[in-house]
A and B are shown apart, each in its own frame.
Chain A
Amino acid sequence: MSAPPILAVEDLVAGYEPGLPIVNGVSMHAADGEIVGVLGPNGAGKSTLIKAMAGLVATSRGKVRFGGRDITKTPAHLRIRGGLAFTPQTENVFTSMSVDDNLKLAAGLLPAPRRPSRIAAMFETFPDLARQRTLLAGRLSGGQRQMLAIARALLIEPKALMLDEPSAGLSPKAVSAVFASLAEIRKTGVTIVLVEQNAKAALAIADRAYILVQGRNRHEGLASALGSDPMIAALYLGGAGTEDAA
């Protein structure tokens, strides 16, 4: 790998209760412009890891570095302001606010003159949202909500985007649309860290991937190599080589 990592996790221990770590010494990194998958069976600690990277789960050991800076103790709202965006798996939009207001909330992090053009850019990228801009986000379909969550995260032009299971609960058509938009996003140079249960879809667009098991690193490598390894697919990825996860 030639580019230096923009986002790195070193020996991270994190969890919800003191003394009961869910993530137990995980290390990983993502280079500038890379798509990195974080995969593994249920309960592997994937979501906890990404939440700890976003600043939503307390860490008791290890470091999170972003853009060369140690952000382990940086509050969540300052991480996004620094260019590290995150979209949660569920409850990822403000359902009582309109599509427009969801985007305006994010636009508030930008200088006032840039806000209208960035909101317009997001509506251009996600035309489906433009047609629903006055609708309450709670009335959007699952796929549209995921798009809105991604649009909200991308609006501030982050350097890196972390997504927690963007395919969860979506129809196969919506999953295709979400992953197609991720492929488009990577063309803009944004680094993407993708936690996914749907290993096949994730490996199809990722450059590299990490496989976690019981809160620890188990395998890592090029996405193409991991995806074509039948043993890994069968053991950890729900038969990723052959079928979609739900």
Chain B
Amino acid sequence: MTPQVVVDGLISGALIGLGAIGLTLTYSILRFANFAHGEFVTFGAYAALALSAVISSQVGVSGEALEPFSISLALVLAVPLAMALTAAFALALDHLLFSRLRGKSEAISVVMASFGASLAIRAAIEFVFTSRPSYFNRELQIAQPIGFGLKATPNQLAMLVVAVALTTGVYLLLARTQLGRSMRAVSENPSLARVAGVDVERTIRFTWALGGALASAGGVMAGLLVQIRPFMGFDLLLPMFAAAILGGIGSVPGAFVGALIVGLAEALTVQLAGAEWRAAVAFVALVGVLLIRPTGIAGRAA
């Protein structure tokens, strides 16, 4: 086993973390497991791909890589737009589908609806972009030494910084702002939140938008690390759930730490047992947490 596994695990954990944060917030505030969350990741990656192409060709912004990264200025500009577009997409999905079921049907109906939405969105993305993988950039990046015998590409280091910055931002939003307090209040007791003056519907809309935007950032990271495929989000769904549950539902730092643990465990497994066992790691982590500590690392008892 080489120490490089730590870098690989942390990078993959960071992108799982961005998705897991949205998932954990949606779960704690709307009280259902959104199986379409992976499609926000995919939608975000394709949105960034399409927008960067438009920015590059129509606005004339350079599509050339910004050294030492393999990321173009067009993509840097496209990412916030893609995050906003994915936020709008998540809001639209809630408005068209989930809000109609909220409070009127069993929780399992909403979960099943999210399954259906996941299939439909994935099929639509595949229809538009085909199942052939796409790439933000085909340039090969060489991993550079970063000390302690470890190596990382400039892209990987940038992603880690962005993921930590976004996670810290969301944590501070929840801990320090009025909107964050409203989200925590709705998560704990929606009925009490209403009589405390919280606009619960507005808080729910914000949660969707935030979850969508973070998933989009995770999608761009996944696209930069590997490739962009219609199944990329679906493949990340189980690790995201494992991270959210491992971290404790509703906890942002918990979801990110959970994701880093899942990422590290996956990287370790690939090195020790082979890549074919990678997908089993999230399952084992999920079952293990549910058996040993169902409330997760930072979760509170129901």
Contact = CB atoms under 8 A, between A and B. Distances in A.
30 contacts: A55-B195, A56-B194, A56-B195, A77-B197, A77-B200, A80-B196, A85-B195, A86-B195, A87-B195, A88-B195, A91-B192, A92-B192, A93-B192, A94-B188, A94-B192, A94-B193, A94-B196, A96-B188, A101-B181, A101-B184, A104-B181, A105-B178, A105-B181, A105-B196, A105-B197, A105-B198, A108-B178, A108-B182, A152-B196, A156-B197
Contacts of B198: 77, 105
A81 interface: yes
Interface string B185-211: 100110111111111100000000000
Contacts of B196: 77, 80, 94, 105-106, 152
Interface residues of A, number: 28
Nearest to A162: B195
B300 interface: yes
Interface of A: 54-56, 75-77, 79-81, 85-88, 91-97, 101, 104-106, 108-109, 152, 156
Given A76-B195, A105-B178, A106-B196, 18 more contacts: A55-B194, A56-B191, A76-B194, A77-B193, A77-B194, A77-B195, A80-B197, A81-B197, A85-B195, A87-B195, A91-B192, A94-B185, A94-B188, A94-B193, A108-B181, A108-B197, A109-B197, A152-B196
Nearest to A75: B194
What secondary structure prevails in chain B residues at the interface with A? helix
Given A56-B191, A91-B192, A105-B178, A96 B197 contact: no
Nearest to A108: B178
Contacts of A76: 194-195
B221 to A, nearest CB: 31
B184 A94 contact: yes
Contacts of A88: 191-192, 195
Nearest to A79: B195
A96 B299 CA distance: 11
B182 A105 contact: yes
Given A105-B198, A156-B197, A95 B178 contact: no
Contacts of B181: 97, 101, 104-105, 108
Contact of B195 (A80, A97, A104): A80
A20 B192 CA distance: 24
B188 A77 contact: no
B184 A96 contact: yes
Contacts of A152: 196
Contacts of A101: 181, 184
A97 B192 contact: no
B189 A91 contact: yes
Among B182, B185, B195, the one with the most A-chain Cβ atoms within 10 Å of its Cβ is B195
Contact of B178 (A79, A91, A94, A104): A104
Given A56-B194, A77-B194, A105-B181, A97 B199 contact: no
Contacts of B191: 56, 88, 91
A199 B198 CA distance: 32
A94 B189 contact: yes
Contacts of B185: 94, 97, 105
A81 to B, nearest CB: 5
A77 B192 CA distance: 10
Nearest to B300: A96
A54 B184 contact: no
B189 A54 contact: no
Closest 3 CB pairs of A and B: A76-B194, A108-B178, A80-B197
Contacts of A80: 195-197
A93 B194 CA distance: 12
Given A94-B184, A96-B300, A105-B182, A54 B192 contact: no
Nearest to B200: A77
